[in-house]
Amino acid sequence: MFDLFTQTTLKCSEIVTKSYSTSFSLGIRMFDPTLHKPIYAIYGFVRYADEIVDTFHSHDKKALLDQFRADTYTAIEQQLSLNPILHSFQWAVNRYHIERKLIDAFLHSMEMDLYFHEYNDDRYHEYIYGSAEVVGLMCLRVFCDGDEAMYQRLKPAACSLGSAFQKVNFLRDMKSDYYERGRVYFPGVDYNRFDGDVKRAIEADIKKDFDDAYKGIIQLPRTARLGVYLAYVYYLRLFKKIQDAAPAKVLSERIRVSDKRKIYLLAESYFKHRLNYI
């Protein structure tokens, strides 16, 4: 019956993932079926932690995050939690030997959102590492499934991909981050003077991350390659739309990729994968 309990909690993480992100859910479905449950478990965990700092405004967010952190480590140590999201996450952590330092860094970045509304260079890199790069490393632990040499070889590319995704999110969400939450993530950027030169400098940094990430994607096991590549091309398309947009448009609306375009990217990626072009 314990296995049944674990399976139901993993299903809960799948529901959370599909409810919050159709794009990531689509990418996960392109993985080999053996990878679905642990990746859903990781995403469910990071999604709920993010909800604490971004959504529960009428509650004591610090107290909620502290409790979530304590419950997370208790679940990992006891290999059990009655919180289905934490139980499924601890299963993935223990099954794939995900290091505590990655979890520490992630929860630390979530806490940074409670205290910092503007970021200097050091805090910016610290935040991106904890909020995005370590999530990529958690997933890489799953993809490599005990192959330490592969994990170490692909770590830099995994970090670059997480960094690219997060920086694109910062550009896409500039309006809501600034006007709804008062956050300015890009160091030294005055949103009231956000012009083409500033935008192009940020975009050049993101392009380098994408270029570095691709070098690792093509070395991933085939069980994971298509799903990660699909997420890569989706975000690359979003990035190109942002590049083509005027600074004022980036500040005033959330730029998106249409569902029709997503379907096209899925089909194109699938055929490239089948033909061994990625």
Domain ranges of the chain: 2-274
pLDDT higher than threshold 90 for residue 193: no
Taking the C-alpha atoms of residue 193 and residue 203, their distance in angstroms, rounded to an integer, is: 16
pTM comes to 0.95
Question: In this predicted structure, what is the pLDDT of residue 275?
Answer: 85
Average predicted confidence (pLDDT) for the chain: 95
Note the CATH number of domain 2-274. 1.10.600.10
Question: Across residues 53-82, what is the average pLDDT?
Answer: 97
Q: How confident is the model at residue 7 (pLDDT cuts 50, 70, 90)?
A: very high
Question: In this predicted structure, what is the pLDDT of residue 1?
Answer: 85
Which runs of consecutive H residues, i.e. helices, occur in the chain?
2-20, 22-29, 33-54, 61-78, 84-96, 100-115, 121-128, 134-144, 148-172, 174-179, 196-217, 222-244, 247-252, 259-274
Taking the C-alpha atoms of residue 52 and residue 97, their distance in angstroms, rounded to an integer, is: 26
pLDDT higher than threshold 80 for residue 23: no
- 118, β-bridge pairs: 184
Question: Across residues 186-192, what is the average pLDDT?
Answer: 88
* pLDDT tens by residue, 126-174: 999 999 999 999 999 999 999 999 999 999 999 999 999 999 999 999 9
Question: In this predicted structure, what is the pLDDT of residue 100?
Answer: 97
Inter-axis angle of helices 33-54 and 22-29, to 10 degrees?
A: 160
Q: How confident is the model at residue 22 (pLDDT cuts 50, 70, 90)?
A: confident
The Cα angle at residue 205 between residues 200 and 210, in degrees rounded to 5: 115
The Cα angle at residue 216 between residues 28 and 150, in degrees rounded to 5: 90
Q: Which two tokens stand for residue 7?
A: 């399976």
